[in-house]
Structure 1
Amino acid sequence: MNLYFRLIWLFLWRIRHCSGIGFLDTSRLSFRALPFDCDINMHVTNSRYPAFMDLARTYMIADMGLMKKFIKMKWMPIVNASETTFIRDIKPLEKFEIETKVVGWDEKYFYIEHRFVTPRALHCIVHVRGVFVSKGKQVPITSLVAEAGYVGEPPELPPEVVKWKQFLQLKKERNM
């Protein structure tokens, strides 16, 4: 239930106060680890991270100034895959920030990196692969990038994302 409150807070307050970032810039969204975000081990439960990332990606789109445009065009983001590396735990009541940025794209997918950080340290790194869909069809990446106002070559994907893409392809081939 608390994520609904956070979603409402995001739309009613935070999105109105976006700083405005470029397509490849880092968006930052702060939270506090509330008791119901934590498990019996007294840290943020692993299942809560994807929900926080949904909010962070929504905020990033708004921070880029693309929210109204994408809603008007009925573009909906869909996560295709994600990989998570937990480094250290986030304690109850600890403030943390999610740094979110587009790290690149290929002919079919865009790739986003989330970093969960506190003044103490880096806690978690997540890579997400996704697409946008409209009317049941995938929005071409070239259209997405053009609507975002980005001009230029795609950035080189980080080496860990390149290896992850290869792993996802292998997984797909072995299970077809």
Structure 2
Amino acid sequence: MNLYFRLFWLLFWRTRHCRKIDFLGTSRITYRALPSDCDINFHLTNSRYPAFMDLARTYMLAEMGLLKRFLKLKWMPIVNAAEFTYIRDIKPLKKFEIETKVVGWDEKYFYIEQRFISERGLHCIVHVRGVFVCKGKQIPLEVLVKEAGYTAPAPELPPEVVKWKAFLQLKKERNL
């Protein structure tokens, strides 16, 4: 599978030659939509977006200087929820960039925004909510933030994330 190749390339080459960003900085990584990434509609298939996002979040941790440290601590990221807004398709063989950044956190989860962008403009905006776990237990957010070396107050969550968070809580309450 080409994503395994991309994962190995990311781990063994790209992370060794990446720039450095701070904890709230924006990470950028470029890919090309290969024919095997596309569906019968001749565009990047919806199932590839989350796979590319996993790679982009891994790259973001490397740019933050946290990837090796978190692996050493055996902290593994877990996605709890994601919401996608597709704007326009990505055609075969076209280059696109994924911008990834931490937009904030609350008492339990961290929130990340990921954007797919090309020369044609914005293709997709995704919000991801997640945690880090070690040996089946969640790493407290204050421990994670401290390990990242971030000492300023938590940023205010964007309004769309606040509303999404409330929507997720409503879904949870209605389905218990």
Paired residue for 1:116? 116
> Matched residues, percent identical?
77
Distance 1:136 1:48 in 2: 27
Paired residue for 1:169? 169
Query: Which runs of no fewer than 5 residues in structure 1 stay unpaired?
Result: none
Paired residue for 2:142? 142
Paired residue for 1:93? 93
Query: Which runs of no fewer than 5 residues in structure 2 stay unpaired?
Result: none
2:166 maps to 1:160? no
2:127 maps to 1:130? no
Paired residue for 2:79? 79
Which segment drifts farther, 77-86 or 9-18?
Answer: 9-18
Letter in 1 for 2:20: G
Distance 1:88 1:18 in 2: 29
Letter in 2 for 1:38: C
Distance 1:12 1:129 in 2: 27
Paired residue for 1:30? 30
Give me the TM-score of the superposition, normalised by structure 1.
0.99
Give every structure 1 segment of 4 or more consecutive aligned residues whose post-TM-superposition deviation is greater than 4 Å.
Answer: none
Give the alignment's Cα RMSD to 1 decimal. 0.4
The count of corresponding residues between Structure 1 and Structure 2 is 176
1:120 Cα shift?
A: 1.2
SS at match of 1:6: helix
Give me the TM-score of the superposition, normalised by structure 2.
0.99
2:70 maps to 1:67? no
Distance 1:133 1:11 in 2: 21
Distance 2:17 2:124 in 1: 26
SS at match of 1:42: coil
Distance 1:157 1:69 in 2: 26
SS at match of 1:41: coil
1:12 Cα shift?
A: 1.3
Superimposed CA distance per residue, residues 55-85 of structure 1 (whole angstroms, 9 cap, x where no aligned partner): 0000000110001110111100000000000
Letter in 2 for 1:167: F
